[in-house]
Structure 1
Amino acid sequence: MYSVNYHRATSVADAAKLIKSGDAKLLSGGMTLIPAMKTRLAAPSDLVDLSRIKELQGVKVSGKTVTVGAATTHYDVASDEKLKKACPALAQMASLIGDPAVRYRGTIGGSIANNDPAADYPAALLALGATIVTNKRQIAAGKFFTGLFETALKDGEIITAVSFTAPAKAAYEKFRNPASRYAIVGVFVAKGKDGVSVAVTGAGDDGVFRSKEIEAALAKNFAASALDGVKVPAKNLMSDIHASADYRANLIAVMAKRAVAAANA
């Protein structure tokens, strides 16, 4: 292991100052950064630890508005009773991430900042029409996720929370890799006052995206049967050792059907 300076930030303001030192990286759960450092894919001069900052932790529900602190772990998202009542789909989704070791350390802010193309949270936030709050501004989820491992975050910008309006109905279904538990295809379906949103992760060659074909069908009839015969084009979908683009296209329709059935249940 090479030399690195470790800083434990006491507040968001403190972290914002520390991140300016050298080639610094923010550390939350470390589920991606630490392995990258071990393999020398990342070599920051400084690590700024956000995990002890209380203002970044926890779930708040006020009426229909849900706010989740960026340093809230997957386990805490999955087990929060307020969230289970307001948006059970998000809590259930968090319970499917990785294994217990990952869920106890990984955080929602770290996941969306990394924007892995097979991560679960991007699909949820995109479908829920969430807002990503940083120490400098607020960014709509539709403009936040900009590509594979890419986001709208600027240098020195720190995610502090995500916020969204609880939907009337929602559910998430994924076909997961049995080893990593990442989504080969994951579909989050949400129905709210603004209509139906369907976001897909694990399949797009440019990361998370909304399925217009499935949204159009469900806007007419929010039922699994409404998706009978709906075809998702394989163009712009990934092909890799796990699944071809055509297979992923079929999986999107299958997972969407399951999600709608779960949402209606």
Structure 2
Amino acid sequence: MTIGIGPSTPVTSQSTSGSRTQGVSTKGTEQGENATPTSGSSKPTSQLSTLAQQLSDSALRAEERDASLDRKALGQKADALLSQITGQGYHNNRARYDAEVPNTDDPELLERAKQATSFVNGRGSNPFSGLSQDQLVLIIYDDSGTFTANEQRAAWQEDYDQRQEWKQAVIARGKLEYSQTGKMTDFFKEVLGNYNDLPPIMQAQYPDFYAPRLEHLIEMDFNFITHRAEGKGAPEDIFDILMSSEDFANLGKRFANSTIS
């Protein structure tokens, strides 16, 4: 469902404020050789340690990439990388991706790649299940060859699933806010906060007007039942904003009709 809370790439509420490449969180991957795996984890601690190093190296590459490209170029880069692991671009190369093996003798890396291939073909568990969005994004958009295409596909799927879970929760809170107050201001705040927490390569996939329009909607504090702006702005501004793009139009229409599902 299009509700104006994100592009086609995954969004979650697990992000934290601050840089998404410097000091990237490796929670769940930094236990070290002597740590005890969490209950139910299928990942040996040595693999977790190896993954933590891979993510650390990937974070440095991401930081260099983000600093070298402007927003438009970064968005184009994201689209190109996603086309390789989603949609027709992925399915056209499925046989090659399924046969891909990491250039390593490390049995743990080989096993993880094998598990990812099994997962994207409907068998077994996702090797990246439970990772944070910061970690998943590093895997998804890493073009160094560190991760196989199927590993990146598996990371993308986990991120997508997390985004869907967040969307359902934020929509439910938005519906409750609308039914109780006639407003969507807290909903807009939560959506904007989530956007502000995204890594640069994900923010770059949103239109330039996305954040400014959310900020305007928040400032207006518009009541959709009384049709009054209780903050800054004229009532007619709400229609200019909500009808100026498909995402915002659908968002406004569905809330106004109280039919979000």
Query: Do these two structures clear the TM 0.5 threshold for a shared fold by scoring above it?
Result: no
More strand by share: 1
More helix by share: 2
TM-score, normalization: structure 2?
0.29
**Greater C-alpha Rg:** 2
TM-score, normalization: structure 1?
0.29
Higher relative contact order (CA 8 A, sep 6+): 2
